[in-house]
Chains A and B, each alone.
Chain A
Amino acid sequence: EAGVTQFPSHSVIEKGQTVTLRCDPISGHDNLYWYRRVMGKEIKFLLHFVKESKQDESGMPNNRFLAERTGGTYSTLKVQPAELEDSGVYFCASSQDLQGAFGYTFGSGTRLTVV
């Protein structure tokens, strides 16, 4: 079984540019999550999709962040325009059970650096 795939693995962009991160969950997993780890801080929740619907997006920091999951398969997270404080590692995760209560499978993350 293929795991959760994220790309790019690294991205360096200038402040004000746009970046789109992609996540391919494990096939058949309806639940998809985005998390972010800023240096020195804990991993923090961004949002949760159930199929193509946003179940919980209360962790999204501001309206510069837009997540989509068309067709309930892969998801994208767009940051536009990027700011310096957006730098960090963005993780995607997926789970089969309804609410991820039995743990998720994480992708290897995208390290975003905004300069």
Chain B
Amino acid sequence: QKEVEQNSGPLSVPEGAIASLNCTYSDRGSQSFFWYRQYSGKSPELIMSIYSNGDKEDGRFTAQLNKASQYVSLLIRDSQPSDSATYLCARTGRGSTLGRLYFGRGTQLTVWP
């Protein structure tokens, strides 16, 4: 079982639409969750972090966390072509592995004009 699973994609949405990215994780004790955006050939860039159940909004981005269902999602409202990138879901470890991140394989998003 993979540590972090993301919907496989690729995902293609028109400009202005809502893009929905989903992620599940296997370790029920995970505390912190992140969404990174990675443009082709570039470094992963942190766009959202979430630690508590519920929604967290930042501009056009909303992260949702449901620890009971071990599910994290990212919604991008009013999608723009500049949002086209690979989105990586990650969680922290626990105990001796608290300092490490476990990543999903990423979902490639294309926003077409």
Contact = CB atoms under 8 A, between A and B. Distances in A.
Contact of B105 (A41, A45, A106): A41
Interface residues on A, range: 20 to 34
Contact of B31 (A41, A43, A101, A106): A101
Contacts, number: 60
Interface string A29-53: 0010101000001111100101000
A108 interface: yes
Interface in A51-95: 55-56, 58-59, 91
A25 interface: no
Nearest to B5: A42
Contacts of A105: 46
B44 A91 contact: yes
